[in-house]
Every structure is written in structure tokens, then in C-alpha cells.
């Protein structure tokens, strides 16, 4: 049968291809070299929601937030030159945190490439080290295939960002349009099927372990293996701890969830890493913020690494058994091979560790004796008031670590943070994307007074979209995390970490966003309730004790067993 | 321990891929000693041959990163004794020096080199061999005034009877079939 192929412009082909891929929301900023696409978008504006951010960095972080919450590919559009270069931070962030993105950038007409034309920059060259794949389209006929490949690559295997650079002439040109989705590229393997022998070996190690310990990362969320993870640990009785990005993959209060790993993670998971006999790592990459010194990391343990990206195997930590492939698939197979077990004594050790941490850290943070508010009590109160149901978005720094430590989760995909790249300014735009990705859920952003000012212009986007995100600014009048390091490791030489901020409530007010500031503990509860009651966007500024520190802490380069519980502790 | 390794990579013939591969080395501050790219025995598939002087662990990491690129089919690494390899060198010497004595002629015979072109001003000599061999000839010719000298990147072929890429492509086909079968279930 003769396929119907209608003639349309390259720009319209872009829009129709996006719709074919199930895209309903895109984030972007127009400009000269992408104008034809924006013109085509105008005809499709009722089918494809476009969110105008105030800066391209805002667009890409919003797309990230959208992708992380919805599980779909985040899409953003920018013009050539500065438009494209402004996306770089978000693209690099998405690569580090395995977030599926398709970023479409305009480019000067192909005849002008390499002539230093107005707003020309070598986007394919610049984005090469920070993309999973990129491609320049100079011919309209290539558009459907390139978009199909982009979506397939971005979302399959270990997800990541893709950039399509689209010359202006390709946007204007007419082409015969037809669309076929991509599901296979000869040179690219999107999944592996681990062999039976390795599975058997892993199962034997697990069945014979006396002190097994499981680490879960974002790979669980990306493969949709949350139920399998819970089922697996329930059958084997293995305590599990999450990486920063793994949070919300397993309910916080699950009896076998022993907390968070890493530099500011929980006490038990860190010290027990160096006491377990079998370490099962799933969908995580042994980041240095998780491992501390790799020379002393889990040396006593047999390591099983379940991972879809072969380049992660043995990259940082040598494995005894590597299971390559999709976490969900592998867990399903493993569940059949492992024996039902309980490890009550071993689990008790984690409970004892949590008791120690409670006494030395957590209680002081949640029920402080001092008058100044702590970030921890604000975070926990938000969790309580939202019944642990909110999507929590954070910026980077102390606000992020407190949010990670004290938020509680019931549902997966409830946690959006910049982990690998640690991008300050990520939070506010990411919360916009998160709300579009989960319009029916409460989205609460925790950010610091420093980070919010890096992308504060996105309040304009929130105002224009009347987007009911709840912004909690934890203001300690410092770049808190750097100040903490200065205090602990640089003799309290507070070099340029004191920061002046505008009146955030007034600033929000200038955008027509409702807001309130609280100073005292007595006001906190009702202020948070008011914030959550409000129908629209809301900014709550909470004045925090100026020089609070995040503890526990594994000092950079130290062993995970040398975790410090308090500042004056002689370890 | 640092030693010479030969990395070979097979890829689709796409614009920019050379760049994508070389930045992996740049990022890790690894110097590329030599690099050759050309079409392989399989049509449309390029073969990269890259020589580095590095520790094995780093080489493994680099090979995995190369393989991670969407358009790379497969990458391998070898030590020198696992491969047969050659380089080619061209030397331009003044013809006058060639005429004056039989020294250059002796060198050409000794090193099994050959003359490509002779003009009134210069003579172009070609030698293939390992780097040490082409270097030795260079050192021998040096006293006569080498006007120009150039050495190619390394080309290398494995000692195993089969092309590992064909083996790999077969494996991949089975994998795809297996996965299709799983999707059907």
C-alpha cells in the first residue's frame, strides 16, 4: 500500500515528530535561529504545551525536573549561539544523573556554518563531552529519523541527554513527512542479558551471606524496579540503603530501609559498608561521595554489581560478580534463585547505629534546644504535613542534604535533586518541570538563599504559568555548605561565603506570587500550613540558624568507617 | 605499570566521531602516540587504531568509554606482541648528498628502504617498519641533511585468525534475536 507522505516544512516536521513521541510539554526560549520552529509551534500550541522560561538554563533544568518525575523524556528548545550555550550546565547535569533529555537547538543556515555568523557557535562540538549523543541536522528530510533516534537513545539503556542542532534552512525547507519510531541501532546495545552462570554465582553469594547489605541507586527508578527491589529484600531479609539519587525508590519507613549512603548519609549504612560480607549494588555507580576513599571501601566484602552500563563495572570498585542489564529483569531472575532468609542480628546492628545517630544528631536537629530554626525541622514538618506524599525538589548544598536526610517518602519518583554535577540554581527551574510532570501532586522545593538567586528569574515563569509550586527558602545568610567546609577544614576563614539577599517575600510579591517569612519556631507550623493550603504558587522564607552544619559527615577522601557524627567529636 | 597498548575501535562512519573518541583521551590527560582511521574490511565501518603509553587499568577504562559511544560497534585493546603492526616513514634528502658518496645507498640497502622519487634537488626515500627501525634510518640519514621527514600512524592487525568484530556482530545478532523473543513474550 502506498504510504501517504505529505509535504510540510522541516519545522512542522519537528513538532509533529515530537507529538509522535508522546511529548505534551516542552520548555524553551525563542530566538533568531529557531524562529521557524516557534512559528510552526504556534499552530500546534493546543496540542503541545510550551513553557517559556526566563533563561535557557531554566528550560533545561525544567525539562530535567519533568523527566525525573514523569519518567518521560524531557524536551527543551533554544536558539543558536548563546541560547545553546546556556543549556550546557543542564545537559552536563543530565548526563551525570542519567536523565533522558532531548534538547533542540537552532543553528545558523548551513551555508554559513564555520563563518562566525551571527549567533553561531559549534554546538555539536561544545556538547560532545556532555551528551549521550548529538547530531546536526542540515537537511529537512533527516528530521523524523533524527528525532526518532534521539528519543530512543535518550530513553533506552542508561538514559541521558541528546542534542539535535537544527540549521535554519532545514527548518524552512519542505520535506515529505512520515514517521517511524526507532527501536534498534546497529552500533548500540540498549540492554544486556546477563548469563545464568553469573546469576547463579550471585545467588550463591547472597544465600551464603551472613551480613549482606544492598545499595540501591537511581537505576531502580529508571528501570521501574521498585516492586522487585522491595520483594527481593523482603525475601532475603537484606537491609538496604539508597544513594542520594536512589531516594524514594524504596519507602523511607520500609522495615529493611536503613537510610541513605554517602558523605552526609546515615551512620549505619556508612560504617556497615565496611563490615558486611556481601555487598549488592544495584543501579548505582560508586560515586566518590558514596565511597569515600576507595582504598578502604568494602574491602572485606564480595561485591555484586547490577548495572546496565558496562563502563561502570569495575570503574571505581572491583566487583566479584557483575550482572549486566536492566535492574528489573535481573531482580526478577534473582528473586527466583535466592532463598528466603532473615538476618535479625545483622539488622539489629543497623538499628543500634540509628539509635546512636538519633542521640548524637537527629534528635538535636528535629527538636533543637536552641532558639534558631534548623533546616531539618522545616523539612520534616513539610514531610509530616504532606503525609510524605509530596514531590521534593532541592537545590544544592546544605538545603539539599537536610532535605535528603529528613524527607520521608512513600512513593517513587518523589525526589528531584542534582546529584552528580551538584548544580546550584537547579532547584527552582526543576520544580517547574516537576509540577508539569506531576500536576496532581504537591511539589515542594527546598533551596538556599544562595542557590535560588542563581536562577531566581524563573519566578517569572512560575507567575506566568500560575504554577502552584511551593518554594521554601532556607535562609541562613551564608553559602552554607562552603561555609561549613571553611569552618571544619579551613580554620573558619569565611572567605566570601556571607551573602546578602533581597527580601524574598517582596521579590515574590513583585511577580505576583504569594509569600511569607518566618523567624520563629512558633510560627513555622501555621506558616507551612498556609503555604500548603494556598492554591497558587507560594514562597516561604524561613530564617535558619546561621552557622548550622550537616552531620554526620564523611570528610572528603576519608574512609566511610571514619564518618564523623558531630563537629567536636574526636574520631 | 605504563606500557604501549594498541586500542582498536570499529565504528559507523559518521562526522564528528573522531572528535568524540579523542576527547575521551583528552579528558583523562592521556597522550595519543599515534592514530590511524580508515575503512575496515566491512563496508561502511571505520577502524581506529590508537597507540597509547599507559597503565592497563586506564586503558580498560578508555576502551569502555569508547565503546559507550552510540556509533561505536566495539573496541579492543592489545599489547604490542599480540599484534602485527607497521608504520611508514618518508625521508627527503638532498640529491647532491646521494651523488657524493655511496653512504646513503648503503643505508637504503641495509634498511630495506626504497626510493620513490629523484629530482635534481631532492630524493624521497620510503621505509616501512616499527618506529625504532624508521627512527634508526632517520638517525643514519641525519648527517646528510634530512630536508623533510614524516612518519605515519600505526596500522595493526591481530595475530588471531578471525576478525573479532565479525565474531562480535554475530553475537549481537543473537542478542537482538533473544531480546525480540523476550519482547514477544
What is the bridge-based pairing of β-strands A257-260 and A240-242?
A: parallel
Of B12, B27, B65, the CB nearest to A311: B65
CB contact under 8 A, B27 and A129: yes
Indicate which residue of A260, A424, A481, A531 is catalytic.
A481
- Chain A residues touching residue B20 (CB < 8 angstroms): 128
Position A564 in a domain: no
Residues B115-164: pLDDT tens digits?
A: 999 999 999 999 999 999 999 999 999 999 999 999 999 999 998 877 67
Q: How many separate domains does chain A show?
A: 3
In terms of DSSP H, where are the helices of A396-503?
398-406, 427-437, 459-465, 480-489
Calculate how close chain B gets to A82, using CA atoms only, in Å: 22
User: What pLDDT sits at residue A299?
Assistant: 97
Position A187 in a domain: no
Position B118 in a domain: no
Burial class of residue A171 (count of CB atoms within 10 Å of its CB; 0-12, 13-18, 19+)? buried
User: What pLDDT sits at residue A2?
Assistant: 47
Q: How many separate domains does chain B show?
A: 1
**Same domain flag for A165 and A285:** no
* Residue A481 known to be catalytic: yes
pLDDT band (50, 70, 90) for residue A517: very high
Residues A220-240: pLDDT tens digits?
A: 999 999 999 999 999 999 999
Of A125, A153, A191, the CB nearest to B19: A125
**Same domain flag for A251 and A123:** no
Residues sharing a CB contact under 8 Å with residue A56, sequence separation 6 or more, in sequence order: A28, A29, A76, A78, A82, A83, A84, A86, A87
Position A188 in a domain: no
**Same domain flag for A221 and A321:** yes
Owner of C-alpha cell 510550551: A50
Q: Is the pLDDT of residue A377 over 70?
A: yes
Task: Find the domain containing A13 and state its range.
Answer: 6-177
What is the distance between the alpha carbons of residues A71 and A67, in angstroms, rounded to a whole number?
5
pLDDT band (50, 70, 90) for residue A570: very low
What is the distance between the alpha carbons of residues B169 and B173, in angstroms, rounded to a whole number?
6
Of A124, A153, A315, the CB nearest to B70: A153
pLDDT band (50, 70, 90) for residue A1: very low
Query: Cell digits for A121?
Result: 557557535
Tell me the residues of B at the A interface, defined by beta carbons under 8 Å apart.
11-12, 16, 19-20, 23, 27, 60-61, 64-65, 67-68, 70-73, 172, 175-176, 178-179, 182
User: What pLDDT sits at residue A295?
Assistant: 96
**Same domain flag for A412 and A513:** yes
**Same domain flag for A324 and A402:** no
Across the range A199-218, mean pLDDT stands at 98
3-state secondary structure of A409: coil
Position B10 in a domain: yes
Position A354 in a domain: no
* Residue A136 known to be catalytic: no
DSSP strands (E only) in A178-248? 212-216, 240-242
What is the distance between the alpha carbons of residues A411 and A558, in angstroms, rounded to a whole number?
33
Rounded-to-10 torsion of CA A416, A421, A423, A428: -20
CB contact under 8 A, B172 and A311: no
What is the distance between the alpha carbons of residues A212 and A276, in angstroms, rounded to a whole number?
6
Q: Is the pLDDT of residue A571 over 50?
A: no
* Three-state SS letters, chain B: CEEEEEEEEEEECCCCHHHHHHHHHHHCCCCEEEEEEEECCCCCEEEEEEEEEEEHHHHHHHHHHHHHCCCEEEEEEEEHHHEEEEEEEEEEEEHHHHHHCCHHHHHHHHCCCEEEEECCCEEEEEEEECHHHHHHHHHHHHCCCCCEEEECCCEEEECCCCCHHHHHHHHHHHHHHHHHHHHHC
Q: Which of A349, A382, A398 is the last residue of a domain?
A: A349
Position B37 in a domain: yes
**Same domain flag for A461 and A325:** no
**Same domain flag for A263 and A153:** no
pTM: 0.95
**Same domain flag for A254 and A142:** no
**Same domain flag for A226 and A167:** no
Q: What is the CATH number of the domain that holds B14?
A: 3.30.70.260
The ipTM value here is: 0.91
User: What pLDDT sits at residue B182?
Assistant: 59
Q: Which of A177, A207, A234 is the last residue of a domain?
A: A177
Owner of C-alpha cell 542534582: A418
Indicate which residue of A12, A21, A27, A56 is catalytic.
A56
Q: Is the pLDDT of residue A485 over 90?
A: yes
CB contact under 8 A, A129 and B23: yes
**Same domain flag for A539 and A422:** yes
* Residue of B12, B42, B70, B183 to mutate for A, most A C-beta atoms under 10 A: B70
Position A185 in a domain: no
Q: What is the CATH number of the domain that holds A41?
A: 3.40.50.970
CB contact under 8 A, A187 and B71: yes
What is the distance between the alpha carbons of residues A179 and A531, in angstroms, rounded to a whole number?
46
pLDDT band (50, 70, 90) for residue B184: low
Q: Which of A177, A204, A238 is the last residue of a domain?
A: A177
User: What pLDDT sits at residue B179?
Assistant: 65
* Residue A426 known to be catalytic: no
**Same domain flag for A148 and A270:** no
* Residue A141 known to be catalytic: no
User: What pLDDT sits at residue A306?
Assistant: 98
Across the range A105-123, mean pLDDT stands at 97
**Same domain flag for A118 and A254:** no
CB contact under 8 A, B19 and A132: no
Assess whether the previous peptide bond of A193 is cis (omega < 30° from 0).
no
Tell me the residues of A at the B interface, defined by beta carbons under 8 Å apart.
124-125, 128-129, 132-134, 153, 184-189, 191-193, 309-311, 314-315
Phi/psi at A73 (5° precision): -80, 130
Calculate how close chain B gets to A119, using CA atoms only, in Å: 21
Position A183 in a domain: no
Phi/psi at B149 (5° precision): -145, 135
Residues A24-67: pLDDT tens digits?
A: 999 999 999 999 999 999 999 999 999 999 999 999 999 999 99
Write the CA distances from A262 to A74, A426, A439, B88, integer angstroms: 28, 21, 31, 53
Position A415 in a domain: yes
Task: Find the domain containing B44 and state its range.
Answer: 2-83
Across the range B92-100, mean pLDDT stands at 94
Calculate how close chain A gets to B82, using CA atoms only, in Å: 24
Position A138 in a domain: yes
Q: What is the CATH number of the domain that holds A334?
A: 3.40.50.1220
CB contact under 8 A, B67 and A311: yes
Q: Is the pLDDT of residue A554 over 90?
A: yes
Amino acid at each position: 500500500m502506498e504510504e501517504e507522505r505529505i509535504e510540510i516544512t522541516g519545522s512542522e516536521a519537528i513538532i509533529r515528530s515530537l507529538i509522535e513521541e508522546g511529548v505534551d510539554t516542552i520548555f524553551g526560549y525563542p530566538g533568531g535561529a529557531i524562529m521557524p520552529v516557534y512559528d510552526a509551534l504556534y499552530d500546534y500550541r493546543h496540542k503541545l504545551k510550551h513553557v517559556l522560561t526566563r533563561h535557557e538554563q531554566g528550560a533545561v533544568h525544567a525539562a530535567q525536573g519533568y523527566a525525573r518525575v514523569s519518567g518521560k523524556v524531557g524536551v527543551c528548545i533554544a536558539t543558536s549561539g548563546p541560547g545553546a550555550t546556556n543549556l550546557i550546565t543542564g545537559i552536563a547535569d543530565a548526563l551525570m544523573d542519567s536523565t533522558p533529555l532531548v534538547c533542540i537547538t537552532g543553528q545558523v543556515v548551513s551555508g554559513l556554518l564555520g563563518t562566525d555568523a551571527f549567533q553561531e557557535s559549534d554546538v555539536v562540538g561544545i556538547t560532545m563531552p556532555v551528551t549521550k549523543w548529538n547530531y546536526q541536522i542540515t537537511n529537512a528530510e533527516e528530521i523524523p529519523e533524527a528525532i526518532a533516534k534521539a528519543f530512543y537513545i535518550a530513553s533506552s539503556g542508561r538514559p541521558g541527554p541528546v542534542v539535535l542542532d537544527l540549521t535554519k534552512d532545514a527548518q524552512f525547507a519542505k520535506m515529505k513527512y512520515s514517521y517511524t519510531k526507532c527501536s534498534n541501532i546497529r552500533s548500540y546495545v540498549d540492554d544486556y542479558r546477563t548469563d545464568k552462570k553469573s546469576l547463579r554465582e550471585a545467588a550463591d553469594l547472597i544465600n551464603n551471606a551472613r551480613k549482606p547489605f544492598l545499595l540501591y541507586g537511581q537505576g531502580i527508578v529508571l528501570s521501574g524496579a521498585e516492586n522487585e527491589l522491595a520483594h527481593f529484600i523482603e525475601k532475603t531479609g537484606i537491609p538496604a540503603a539508597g544513594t542520594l539519587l536512589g531516594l524514594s525508590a524504596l519507602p523511607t519507613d520500609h522495615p529493611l530501609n536503613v537510610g541513605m549512603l554517602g558523605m552526609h548519609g546515615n551512620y549505619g549504612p556508612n560504617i556497615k559498608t565496611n563490615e558486611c560480607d556481601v555487598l549488592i549494588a544495584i543501579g548505582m555507580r560508586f560515586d566518590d561521595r558514596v565511597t569515600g576513599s576507595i582504598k578502604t571501601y568494602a574491602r572485606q566484602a564480595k561485591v555484586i554489581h547490577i548495572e546496565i552500563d558496562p563502563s561502570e563495572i569495575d570503574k571505581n570498585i572491583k566487583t566479584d560478580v557483575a550482572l549486566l542489564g536492566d535492574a528489573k529483569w535481573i531482580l526478577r531472575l534473582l528473586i527466583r534463585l535466592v532463598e528466603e532468609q532473615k538476618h535479625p542480628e545483622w539488622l539489629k546492628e543497623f538499628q543500634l547505629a540509628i539509635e546512636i545517630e538519633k542521640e548524637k544528631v537527629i534528635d538535636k536537629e528535629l527538636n533543637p534546644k536552641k532558639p534558631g530554626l534548623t533546616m531539618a525541622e522545616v523539612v520534616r514538618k513539610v514531610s509530616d504535613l504532606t503525609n510524605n506524599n509530596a514531590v521534593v525538589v532541592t537545590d544544592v548544598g546544605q538545603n539539599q542534604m537536610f532535605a535528603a536526610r529528613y524527607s520521608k517518602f512513600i512513593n517513587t519518583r518523589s525526589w528531584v535533586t542534582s546529584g552528580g554535577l551538584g548544580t546550584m540554581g537547579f532547584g527552582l527551574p526543576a520544580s517547574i518541570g516537576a509540577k508539569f510532570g506531576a500536576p496532581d501532586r504537591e511539589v515542594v522545593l527546598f533551596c538556599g538563599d544562595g542557590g535560588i538567586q542563581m536562577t531566581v528569574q524563573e519566578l517569572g515563569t512560575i507567575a506566568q504559568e500560575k504554577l502552584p509550586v511551593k518554594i521554601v527558602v532556607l535562609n541562613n545568610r551564608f553559602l552554607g555548605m562552603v561555609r561549613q567546609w571553611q569552618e571544619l577544614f579551613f580554620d573558619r576563614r569565611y572567605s566570601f561565603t556571607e551573602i546578602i539577599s533581597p527580601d524574598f517575600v517582596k521579590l515574590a510579591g513583585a511577580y505576583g506570587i504569594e509569600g511569607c517569612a518566618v523567624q520563629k519556631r512558633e510560627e513555622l507550623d501555621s506558616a507551612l500550613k498556609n503555604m500548603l493550603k494556598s492554591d497558587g504558587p507560594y514562597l516561604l522564607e524561613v530564617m535558619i540558624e546561621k552557622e548550622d552544619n550537616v552531620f554526620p559527615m564523611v570528610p572528603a577522601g576519608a574512609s566511610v568507617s571514619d564518618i564523623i557524627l558531630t563537629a567536636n567529636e574526636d574520631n | 605499570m605504563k606500557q604501549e597498548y594498541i586500542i582498536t575501535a570499529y565504528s559507523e562512519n559518521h562526522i564528528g566521531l573522531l572528535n568524540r573518541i579523542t576527547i575521551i583521551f583528552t579528558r583523562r590527560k592521556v597522550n595519543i602516540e599515534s592514530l590511524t582511521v580508515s575503512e575496515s574490511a566491512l563496508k561502511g565501518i571505520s577502524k581506529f587504531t590508537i597507540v597509547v603509553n599507559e597503565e592497563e587499568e586506564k586503558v580498560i577504562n578508555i576502551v569502555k568509554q569508547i565503546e559507550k559511544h552510540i556509533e561505536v560497534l566495539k573496541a579492543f585493546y592489545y599489547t604490542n606482541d599480540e599484534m602485527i603492526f607497521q608504520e611508514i616513514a618518508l625521508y627527503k634528502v638532498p640529491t647532491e648528498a646521494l651523488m657524493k658518496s655511496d653512504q646513503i645507498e648503503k643505508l637504503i640497502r641495509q634498511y630495506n628502504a626504497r626510493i620513490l622519487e629523484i629530482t635534481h634537488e631532492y630524493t624521497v626515500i620510503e621505509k616501512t617498519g616499527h618506529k625504532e627501525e624508521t627512527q634508526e634510518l632517520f638517525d643514519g640519514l641525519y648527517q646528510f641533511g634530512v630536508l623533510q621527514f614524516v612518519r605515519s600512524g600505526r596500522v595493526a592487525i591481530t595475530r588471531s585468525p578471525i576478525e573479532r568484530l565479525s565474531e562480535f556482530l554475530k553475537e549481537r545478532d543473537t542478542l537482538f534475536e533473544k531480546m525480540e523473543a523476550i519482547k514477544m513474550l
